[in-house]
């Protein structure tokens, strides 16, 4: 019975770690999307800044 309880605890811990990894991946995905939009690689139709308010490109 003790090993069964231990197995359940291991499964619960694994489930918690998996949920944390999914949460981190979602955060990274959101950050990547924001960076992509800010760098100009995103869809211009989604850009809510008029062109005259965008910072000038440095060359």
Enumerate residue ranges in the chain where pLDDT < 70: 1, 41-59
pLDDT at residue 59, as a whole number:
47
pLDDT at residue 17, as a whole number:
97
CB 3 within 8 A of CB 9: no
Residue 5 structure tokens: 């309880």
Quote the pTM value. Answer: 0.52
CB 54 within 8 A of CB 44: no
Residue 14 structure tokens: 């694994």
C-alpha distances in Å from residue 54, one per residue of 30, 40, 41: 21, 10, 14
pLDDT at residue 53, as a whole number:
59
- What is the CA 20 to chain-centroid distance, rounded? 12
């Amino acid at each position: 019975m003790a090993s069964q309880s231990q197995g359940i605890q291991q499964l619960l811990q694994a489930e918690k770690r998996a949920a944390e990894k999914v949460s981190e991946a979602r955060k990274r995905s959101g950050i990547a999307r924001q960076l992509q939009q800010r760098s100009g690689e995103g869809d211009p139709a989604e850009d809510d800044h008029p062109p005259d308010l965008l910072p000038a490109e440095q060359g």
